[in-house]
Amino acid sequence: MPPTFFIFLGFVAYIGLATLTCIIFIPMLLIDSKKRPLAKKVLATVLISYPCLIVMGLVFAIIFILPALLFSWSVNSGFISKTPGIILAVTGLVIFASLVAISALYLWYFVSKLIYQRLDKKPLQDFLENDKVFKFLRPYLIKFKFYNPAT
């Protein structure tokens, strides 16, 4: 089984869910009704789910690639014996998968809320001021020029 099998399997499930969502909610966009904003929100939420997972997977893969290669080299060179090496490898894999899942879900929530604010024509600052994680990350985002509070 190739290492990209689970990514492919997730993509197949995503395409199926996105297709089903489009079949159900695109007709609501064509009819002028009160359900049009709901249809836009559902479509946006479903369509950004898998890309959020891929983005966070790539970010954490970039972060963890060097420690993983160093660990693999140390196990293969005999600096770490096999049994503790297997235990540490499984622990690292579980930590990696947990971090990717948690951060992807939060990114999905965050981007969905931003889209909802835009669709409801509400100011984005209302959401950003109340979000605890964004408040924590704000100084770092400003420092690395990802966020400009003046705009």
Q: Is residue 106 part of a domain?
A: no
> How far apart are the C-alpha atoms of 5 and 10, rounded to whole Å?
9
Q: Is residue 21 part of a domain?
A: yes
Give the total number of structural domains in the chain: 1
Task: Report yes or no on 38 lying in a domain.
Answer: yes
pLDDT, one tens digit per residue, over 6-19 is 889 989 999 999 99
Domain ranges, residue 20: 1-47
pLDDT 10s digits, 12-56: 999 999 999 999 999 988 887 788 888 999 999 999 999 999 999
Residues 6+ apart with CB under 8 A from 71: 80, 85, 88, 89, 92
